[in-house]
Amino acid sequence: MIVRNEEELLPRCLESVRGIVDEMVVCDTGSQDGTAAIAREAGARLVEFAWCDDFSAARNYALAQTRGDWILHLDADEVLLPGARPAIEEALAGTHAGHLLPLENLLDEEGRLVRQTTHLLRLFRNLSAVRYRGRVHEQVSLEEHGLTIGHCAARIRHDGYLNARVAARDKHGRNLRLLEAALAEAPDDLYALYQRGKTLFAMDRTVEAGPSIEEVIGRLEKTVHPERLAYAPRPFLQRAQIAETGGLAHAIPWIERGLALLPGSAELWLRFGLYCHRAGRDSEAQAAWIRSEELAPHADAAAQAAQAGGDLLVQQGRFLEAAAAYGRVVQHAPREFTTWLRLANALLQAGERTQAIAAYEEVLTREPAEPAAALALGTLYFEQGERRRALVAFETAARTYQSPELLQLIELCRASSGP
């Protein structure tokens, strides 16, 4: 990793990989706080690099200091989530030279915290020919060396783009400056142009972002095999989002234009479905989400599409079909208790009480204090005459809910379940 003035975040990052990696290499680019001391105390090997407005230069210097056969790349504002070790060991035992890891971005949107997952190449063989490129938003390319990339289930959480941290460090301003410098050196760098439009969009400078993103789209439409560029769908998504201010009739054509170029994009089919649903075109929406799920390159994307379809089916009162969709979601992403809760509720609405009980129990296995699941499960047990089980569930629900009806049910269960 490369760092600068990260004394607040670095300890948790290094702790998250302890016992998983053989060595921790921290490349300091000019810290003026306690970052260097923290790295040393944590057992990391500290190296120093004079910052030159080039992230790739710093990362490549850090790469040259490593000794292991594999590289795991993290930033200081990231942590490797628990349970990563088995997934990494499985990846290393395979035949791929690199692996995409799901990176969960924590973002502020309209006063609430949201999670947005992307997949990035963060685990790869330590080969002398493999190096980073780009002043900012630097990337490692394996395909140009004839190397293949797989998927690893080890998850990373990133909170460096929460509004407070972005503002404190002016990350967007820094990135825009470096991207402008990169484009001055290489005006035909399509990826840098894409990142420039993306950065302007993130800064709410949409008057400038729109034409920049449109230029990227125009160039993509003249590119041979644009589907090989992982970021290719994103300019269409961003341009559509800008156009949304004028209504869906202005946004949908940008997604349709993207699908004409990239018919295999799960991202574009997912957004097309969302727009169709908002436009009242539900049959098209459902078809788009089914297509998105079929094309999804990884489990997270498939789960997102299946859940969108399930939510629509619930709105239409088609609960058994919704349960089937949510059943696919839990196959794709079994660890999310919220999906199990959706499945349980749909099964209950469909009259599948036995299966609903099993699904609510799965919710509480993953989130033992979840009040809605506990209340529903207690009610189902109570109706079946299983008063002891109902009591346990109701008491769990009562930690959050304190309604007179619930307290009365608890007393009934206590009275009838015996000592």
**What are the tokens at 412?**
């009934």
Q: Which CATH number fits domain 1-160: 3.90.550.10, 3.40.50.300, 3.30.460.80, 3.40.50.12780?
A: 3.90.550.10
Q: Quick one: pLDDT at residue 110?
A: 64
Walk along the chain (419 residues) and give the pLDDT tens digit of each residue. 999 999 999 999 999 999 999 999 999 999 999 999 999 999 999 999 999 999 999 999 999 999 999 999 999 999 999 989 999 999 999 999 999 999 998 887 766 777 888 899 999 999 999 999 999 999 998 988 889 999 999 999 998 877 777 777 788 899 999 999 999 999 999 999 999 999 999 898 999 999 999 999 999 999 999 998 989 999 999 999 999 999 999 999 999 999 999 999 999 999 999 999 999 999 999 999 999 999 998 888 999 999 999 999 999 999 999 999 999 999 988 878 898 999 999 999 999 999 999 999 999 999 999 999 999 999 999 999 999 999 999 999 999 988 899 999 999 999 886 65
Contacts of 306 (CB under 8 A, 6+ apart): 289, 293, 325, 326, 328, 329, 332
Residues of the chain with CATH 1.25.40.10: 170-263
Are 380 and 356 in contact by the 8 Å Cβ rule? The answer is: yes
Tell me the C-alpha distance between 119 and 287, whole Å. 25
Q: Which CATH class is domain 170-263?
A: mainly alpha
Tell me the C-alpha distance between 251 and 278, whole Å. 12
**Which of 257, 204, 273, 268 minimizes the C-alpha distance to 231?**
268
Residues facing residue 107 across a β-bridge: 114
Give φ, ψ of 124 to 5 degrees.
-155, 160
Are 282 and 276 in contact by the 8 Å Cβ rule? The answer is: yes
Residues of the chain with CATH 3.90.550.10: 1-160
